[in-house]
Structure 1
Amino acid sequence: MVTSGRVARAETGYAAQMERAGLRFESRTAQREENRRTVASRGVLYADEPERVEKRLARLNADWSLARSIERTPSEPATTTGSTLPLGPAEFTADVLGLERLMGRNNLTGVAFLEGGHLAARSVGRVTVTGPGGSRHYGTAFMVSPSLLMTNNHVLSSQEEAGRALVEFNYQAALDGRPLAPASFALEPQRFFATDVDLDFSVVAVAEAGDQGERLADFHWLPLDGSQGKVIIGEFVNIIQHPDGEPKQLALRENQVVDLLDRFLHYYTDTARGSSGSPVCNDQWEVVALHHSAVPETDPEGRHLTVDGALWQPWMGEHKLAWKANEGVRISRVLQALSRLTLNGTAARLRDELFQPKGGAPLPGEGPPAAAAGAATGPGPVPSQGPDGMIPGAHGLLPGPDGQGPAAYGQVPGPGGPLPGLTAQPVSGAAVDVTVPLRITVGVVTPAPERPALDGTAASGAAERDLNAALLNLRLMEGRPYYDREADLAARDAYYAGIDVDSAGDALRDALTGLLEETHERRPSYSPARMLYPWVDLHPDRLLRSVYSGKTFTAEELIRADAAAEAARLGRMQAFMVRESTVGPDRFAAELDTLEASLPFNCEHVVPQSWFTKREPMRGDLHHLFACEPACNSFRSNIPYTDFPGFDEAVRDDCGMREREGFEPGHSKGAVARATLYFLLRYPGLIGDAEGEFPQDRLPVLLGWHESEPVSEYESHRNAAVAEIQGNRNPLIDHPEWSRKVDFSGVWR
């Protein structure tokens, strides 16, 4: 046992981590309290950054329209399903339940939650480190690959210390309250050991067989994922732990996330503290953080206090500390650090296993895709990073892990080597391979990790999930009033309250541009089947109309058509990635463009995607998206709008008229003009007089269409629906008279 005469290094290390955690916590007091007020007054969807909330909803296979439907319903659950939504049992899915649970509208959960927790808990063990003189200290650890275990640096600080440690699984009580027989495994730091003092993690290899011949594989492992969307501010997390070396325990939905820092997250608890090295999991049992420190209660002089109010000393142990919050290291930052290690041989192979999806080999296009010194260790070059740190994908540009492109899973270190503070056990060998693990998710709006089969089964499954989500959105909107004019006028007046209505020219344009950008809080990715067809683009008869031809469709028709196109795209991209052994960025992008052209959605961007290189948020901005059958979409192509003085020379079609220099729609000229004018205000300088884009001399055409076709109830409904999802409005719909007051000349680049 540790005494005051011999303080273990682990305890002094924990004290140092605790000190730094306390400083970080105090520095964020104002932001944290604002987060708590927002969660209490508006709900969990509004406290975090809109982009993070969007990614969290997408990970739950939901979107903003479904979330708003839940918000509008009574909080008392129905007796048949438990849901607060007006759904029958056949429509009440785990996706809906998970979203209601996230939003605090329903405490019910499927039994799969317990089954998932049981499997997750099997991966968690107690680490015992024997020190000089027989002293011991304990920590929690969990398997993160078939061979590797993760805990804190202050639990295992060095290879030498890891060599004196073991991990025990099943150190817990059985159903009858009697203890299970623990399975003890030696650690093997000579095979792999990596540690980082600043991020307070250590990763070490574990022996394949236990002291009594137990198999390590029987205890499973928790896969790590560096992508965003696993947790947001206000959400509750779960901690599986061995507090103070005690039998395994679970803090179930007791820790509420109150702040997200660049490398850490803070969470409050009323009843349970964390334990060093524990996995912090969301309700889907995905690891969101590595628990590493309490935020201590202090006296007026800043000294740490015990639970009974005395002064705390490191020799007393973690369990005697009075705390006010917990701190975890974001798992995405741990993965970044590990990916930057320069390794070879066995150590490189073991590290790369950590980045593979659970279930086997990586997907086509997954890591390791590149090697140093020309030594190919993967399927080929990494697709180049696009604008805003995005990776080209079938929907245009897909975020890499943590929304930061390939760097989130690692970039090849420069001459300076690994990150400061990160050390690894060197392995001898003739060559040094630098691998960059990468997961390429092609065309799936919901980023839930899954290993697709080569026969396209997983592609069909992903498309089917999107289809079901879109159809659920459609059913949720069936009973809603189409357009509440009185409420919308009130919302309009509040929205423009800060605009000087007497201003004009550059001043009015700049004020509107600033307002549109500031209030564009939620920026949905391009997904017309889920975001456009079920509600936004419906006409008063609850049908969709092609924006150029006027042909009518039911929402379900276009939803199912787009789902079929999506499934076909995914299947073909899988086949392409398997067929091609090396894929450069240009070839990758060209294949995606070909697939989109050959399998189009029933959606038109009135400002063509090629003009802004398919980037978000422009691509998913609902204000300029309209239902449109592929024939009309293809007929217009990316030709700018124009007015034809006569009809003899123009090529005619149900969709309108076209010549090389311009396209005149057959229908909806006023609507497409107002949508284009919105785009010019929202994204000034993005498009211009470049060949094939929108020349400035066409502005009178748009203004003429705008004035000749007044705003309809359909457009007012669209505007209100988009504002509900994105947060911003179209000023030309709300105030048509402003079209001649705004100086649009400053929006061209």
Structure 2
Amino acid sequence: MATAELTSERKSDYLAQLTMAAARYTSRTAQRERNQAVLQTQGVLYADAPERVEKRLARLGADWAMARAIEHTPTEPASSGGSTLQLPPEAFTGDALGLERLIGRNNLAPVAFLEEGVQVSRSVGRVTISGPGGGHGTGFMVSPSLLLTNNHVLHSAEEASRSKVAFAFQDGVEGGPLTPAVFPLEPHRLFVTDRALDYSLVAVAPQGTQGEPLSSFGWLMLTETQGKAVIGEFVNIIQHPRGEPKQIALRDNQLVDVLERFLHYASDTREGSSGSPVFNDQWEVVALHHSAVPKTDAEGRPLSVDGTVWRPEMGEQQLAWLANEGVRISRVLRALHEVTLTGAAARLRDEMFTAGLAPSPVESAPPIPSSNGKTALSAANGSQARAPAHATEGAAQLVLPLRIAVGFDTPMSPQATPLAPLPTLEPTPKAAPQPPSAARTDVVSAVEQEVDAALINHQLAQKRPYYDRTADIAARDAYYANVRTGGGDALRRALTALLEETHTPQPRYKPMRLVYPWVDLHKDGRLYGIYSARGFSVEELVRADATVAEARLARVEELLRQESTAGPAEFEAEFDALEASMPFNCEHVVPQSWFAKQEPMRGDLHHLFACEAGCNSFRGNFPYFDFPDFDEALRDACGMRESVGFEPTEGKGAVARATLYFLLRYPGQVGDVAREFPGDRLPVLLTWHENQAVTEYELHRNAAIAEIQGNRNPLIDHPEWAREIDFSGVWP
């Protein structure tokens, strides 16, 4: 906000902005108090919406299983650099510590946190408006040519034409001031503003008043992706308060509420800070700081520090603050996408969304390997590495337009022949070295991050009790407290409603991360193929699936480069065939083709089991069947198969209960075509369920899954309900 004498229009605008911010804050009092109560009693993982928390964990290279495992580990510091996690030192990076900070277990930060903060601060400058209504604000570069600030800092193109931005207006390490580089603004090239979202985007001259290149100050890369911050997390703000040299409000700024277009946070910002970038701990921009939230009287008028009604001529320093408000950066980007521009202005705007192809020297440095020669856990957005927060001009980096998760698994079609033999899980020989592309390096890095995170998940899980019967019985009784037995169809409907209501969060399909490390473990710490009972170590299956993931993505790269790939339908067919030829070591007991690979079915942990790729392919998408002893079915170590169905050698009770869960949770989803599980096969499942009692392994799975996705399997908790439930309503 300008610190010089305000014009009449500026006074009115600023007072209106304060009043609206205060009204938004007041209207959210009940929700904010609920957030604070949850933060104090449960922690940061539970105050925000589950899907937002899940996305935040994904950007940290983590998931619910890892976060919950950390919550259950002892709090005594280990020898790992002061961390409370009992892991070897090579497993630690800033992102592992970032997860600890997120859930409140540790406030340590790596030195690189400060180094990257210095790097991103270079792109933040002081905006100075000359002439009538002049003053100071803050702005930051968001592309090689464009600066983002507030609408109330730069109202118009005319005002921007008499404004400048100064970078490096700050004190040096020895205490003396640096020489700032001053750049004129050039609104004739581009100026976009929005009063409702309080942003202005303006072009900056490519050279400073002393000939300095604008490119040397880089820019902050913005993203619309969710998961950059959640309620209860701390944010950082780089700013020029009152037009003073650059300062930072570091980590003592808690995010207290998330609105549709705004964030509310408690932080130490002052006048002149308008237009500042608000960062998370990974130095990603999460908001555009734009207003304080003032204390108000009963009529909604802002109050001054002495309790009187505040007037603009008193100056911002006299306002009594409650909190601060920032505009969500995703909403700013969404609005900019929709602005109609043409010619050079359109190209400048679009550069904001494509300029992230040039990593800065810090981000482009090779990763530091751990003692086993692999990169340690680092930040990821799902299966993709997080984009650098700061960039400077340099060599372009190839980025393929590819958004495919590494965790795909399509069972082989029953017509596919010949059947793949049961594979060994030894590492595959490496081909002759080829010149690496940047995209290929990104693929390998993303898969390695998944491996690192999976193995950390497993290490944490080994510190936990395998199954706590007393706690689980209490959790089971509480879960079904409102379910009334009697009346088969009523019981089915009640269970379906309960399973759907409590299925939060809804994790995506990631067997490496969510199935192998903890959920599907047996008490001896090993995994066993659900159909063959063949045993494997967790690392065997994790690394085997990683090899498949890399091979799949390498083939996808080839498909994308081929001119013969005509369109989405053709690519989907190619990818389906690719998945079928290279399955993961994980089985959907209800095949994905029956529900068109849709979420949340695809990632629902209750019907996912470790299963070596050979058995996975052998079963295909055949429905379960009970062969008479005299039938001439095709036999394998995994079971028997014929055109009518598949009968596993092992695990019949477990897969029956998982299938019955699926029928309850997703009524109407399967059984509408002949090859899917028909209603007349229900007795097969009930017989398998009754002949093989629930094991401790299944009890462990059920409790572990409930921790991650919230719901339970009623057939494990109450086996006696199987004959009472009327399943006739689950088929289409």
* Counterpart for residue 458 of structure 1: 442
Residue-pair matches, total: 670
- The answer to whether the Cα contact below 8 Å between 1:256 and 1:268 also exists between their aligned partners in 2 is yes
Range 23-32 or range 567-576, more displaced: 567-576
Range with bigger deviation, 334-343 or 230-239: 334-343
> 1:10 Cα deviation (Å)?
3.7
1:569 aligns with 2:567: no
Distance 1:538 1:58 in 2: 23
- Kept after mapping to 1: 8 A contact 2:565/2:571: no
1:16 counterpart residue number = 16
Match of 2:181 among 180, 183, 187: 183
Preserved CA contact (<8 Å) 1:243 1:319: no
- Deviations along 1:315-344, one digit per CA (max 9) or x if unpaired, are 333333221011111111111111122333
**1:443 and 2:405 are equivalent in the alignment:** yes
Cα contact 1:445–1:527 (8 A) shared by 2: yes
Match of 2:292 in 1: 294
Determine helix, strand or coil for the equivalent of 1:127: strand
In structure 2, what is the equivalent of residue 609 of structure 1? 592
The secondary structure found in structure 1 opposite 2:450 is helix
Describe the shift of the 1:260–1:445 C-alpha distance in structure 2 as closer, same or farther (beyond 3 A). farther
Change (3 A) 1:741 1:643: same
| 1:471 matched to 2:455 | yes
* 2:683 equivalent in structure 1: 700
Deviation for aligned residue 1:304: 1.0
- The more displaced of 546-555 and 228-237 is 546-555
**Contact 1:254–1:269 (8 Å) recurs in 2:** yes
Cα offset, 1:689, TM superposition: 2.5
1:584 counterpart letter in structure 2:
G
| 1:65–1:287 distance in 2 versus 1, CA, 3 Å | same
SS at match of 1:534: helix
Work out whether residues 470 and 559 of structure 1, in 8 Å CA contact, stay in contact via their aligned partners in 2: yes
- Cα separation, 2, equivalents of 1:120 and 1:482: 45
The question of whether the paired residues in 2 share the 8 Å contact of 1:60 and 1:98 is answered with yes
**Closer, same or farther: CA 640–5 of 1 in aligned 2, 3 Å:** closer
The alpha-carbon deviation at position 577 of structure 1 amounts to: 2.3
Pairing of 1:258-657 with structure 2 (within 5 A): 258-269=256-267, 275-356=273-354, 358-360=356-358, 440-444=402-406, 453-454=437-438, 456-500=440-484, 502-580=485-563, 584-657=567-640
Distance 1:190 1:444 in 2: 45
Deviations 1:465-496 (A, max 9, x none): 11111111111222332222222212211211
8 Å CA contact 1:506, 1:746 repeated in 2: yes
Contact 2:3 2:136 in 1 (8 A): no
Distance between the aligned counterparts of 1:278 and 1:65, measured in 2?
35
CA change 1:445–1:35 in 2 (3 A) is farther
SS at match of 1:310: coil
Quick one: which amino acid aligns to residue 40 of structure 1? Answer: Q
C-alpha distance in structure 1 between counterparts of 2:566 and 2:383, whole Å? 19
Residue 225 of structure 1 and its aligned partner are, at CA, apart by 0.7
| Residues 597-655 of structure 1 deviation map (CA, whole Å, 9 limit, x = unaligned) | 22221000001111111121111111000011111111111111122234433222221
Contact 1:145-1:221 within 8 A present in 2 as well: yes
Contact 2:506 2:600 in 1 (8 A): yes
Asked if the contact 1:7/1:315 (under 8 Å) is kept, the reply is no
Deviation (angstroms), 1:560: 0.4
Distance change >3 Å, CA 312–CA 704, structure 1 → 2: same
In the alignment, residue 634 of structure 1 is paired with which amino acid? Answer: S
Question: Contact 1:145–1:354 at 8 Å: present in 2 too?
Answer: yes
Other-structure match for 2:723: 740
Secondary structure at 1:255's aligned position in 2? coil
Q: For residues 90 and 283 of structure 2, what CA distance do their matches in structure 1 show?
A: 26
After TM superposition, give the deviation of residue 4 of structure 1 in Å: 10
Structure 2 SS opposite 1:456: helix
Contact 1:147 1:206 in 2 (8 A): yes
Are the aligned partners of 2:169 and 2:179 in contact in 1 as well (CA < 8 Å)?
A: yes
SS at match of 1:533: helix
Please tell me the residue identity of whatever aligns with 1:57: L
The 1:124–1:534 alpha-carbon spacing in structure 2 relative to 1, beyond 3 Å, is same
AA aligned opposite 2:455: L
User: How far, CA to CA, are the matches of 1:174 and 1:709 in structure 2?
Assistant: 72
Question: In structure 1, what is the Cα distance between the partners aligned to 2:581 and 2:219?
Answer: 41
Within a 5 Å distance, the mapping from 1:39-438 to structure 2 comes to 39-78=39-78, 80-132=80-132, 135-269=133-267, 275-356=273-354, 358-360=356-358
- Please report how far the alpha carbon of residue 514 of structure 1 lies from its aligned counterpart in structure 2 after TM superposition: 1.5
Cα–Cα, structure 1 residues 80 and 642, in superposed 2: closer, same or farther, change >3 Å?
A: closer
Contact 1:274/1:294, CA 8 A, preserved across alignment? no
- CA contact under 8 A between 1:11 and 1:154: conserved in structure 2? no
1:2–1:558 Cα change, 3 Å: closer
Secondary structure of the corresponding residue to residue 664 of structure 1: strand
The question of whether the paired residues in 2 share the 8 Å contact of 1:2 and 1:315 is answered with no
- How big is each residue's C-alpha offset from its partner over 1:648-683, in whole Å with a ceiling of 9 and x where there is no partner? 332222211112221111111110010011111111
Helix, strand or coil for the counterpart of 2:286? strand
CA 1:280 to 1:526, structure 2 compared with 1: closer, same or farther past 3 Å?
Answer: same
Contact 2:19/2:301, CA 8 A, preserved across alignment: no
RMSD: 2.5
SS in 1 for 2:576: helix
DSSP 3-state at the match of 1:142: strand
Q: Indicate the percent of aligned positions where both proteins have the same amino acid.
A: 64
Residue type at the aligned position of 2:173: L
**Which residue of 2 is the match for residue 716 of structure 1?**
699
Give the residue type in structure 1 aligned to 2:36. R
Q: CA shift at 1:357, angstroms? A: 5.5
Q: Which amino acid aligns with 1:441?
A: R
1:3, 1:85 → 2: CA distance?
Answer: 48
Higher mean C-alpha displacement, 526-535 vs 682-691: 682-691
Change (3 A) 1:214 1:444: farther
Which consecutive unaligned segments of at least 5 residues does structure 2 have? 360-381, 385-398, 409-435
Which one is further off, 106-115 or 658-667? 658-667
1:726 aligned onto 2:724:
no
State the distance in 2 between where 1:12 and 1:461 align.
52
Tell me the CA shift for residue 574 of structure 1: 2.5
Could you tell me how far apart the structure 1 residues matched to 2:618 and 2:576 are?
17
Residue pair 2:383, 2:446 contacting (<8 A) in 1 also: no
3-state secondary structure, aligned to 2:293: strand
> Structure 1 347/444 Cα, relative in aligned 2: closer, same or farther at 3 Å?
farther
How high is the TM-score relative to the length of structure 2? 0.87
Q: Distance in 1 between matches of 2:136 and 2:271?
A: 15
The CA deviation at 1:399 is: 12
Give the superposition deviation at 1:237: 0.5
In the alignment, the residues of structure 2 paired with residue 6 and residue 668 of structure 1 have an alpha-carbon distance, to the nearest angstrom, of 76
SS of 1:254's partner is: coil
CA distance change for structure 1 residues 462 and 273 in 2, over 3 Å: closer, same or farther?
farther
SS of equivalent residue, structure 1 residue 195: strand
1:454, 1:575 within 8 Å by CA — same for their partners in 2? Answer: no
Distance 1:274 1:546 in 2: 62
SS of the equivalent of 1:658 reads: strand
Q: Are 2:166 and 2:181, in contact at CA under 8 Å, matched by a contact in 1?
A: yes
- Measure how far apart 1:79 and its partner are: 5.2
Q: Which has the higher contact order (CA 8 A, sep 6+)?
A: 2
Please give the alpha-carbon distance, in whole angstroms, between the structure 1 residues aligned to 2:656 and 2:90: 42
Paired with 1:4 and 1:473, the residues of 2 have a C-alpha distance of 55
How far residue 137 of structure 1 moved from its aligned partner, in angstroms, is 2.3
Moved more, 474-483 or 8-17: 8-17
Shift of 1:117: 0.6
Distance 1:8 1:202 in 2: 20
Give distance in 2, aligned partners of 1:272 and 1:60.
31
The offset of 1:91, in angstroms, is 2.5
- 1:580 offset after TM fit, Å? 4.2
Q: How far apart, CA to CA, are the structure 2 residues paired with 1:455 and 1:63?
A: 25
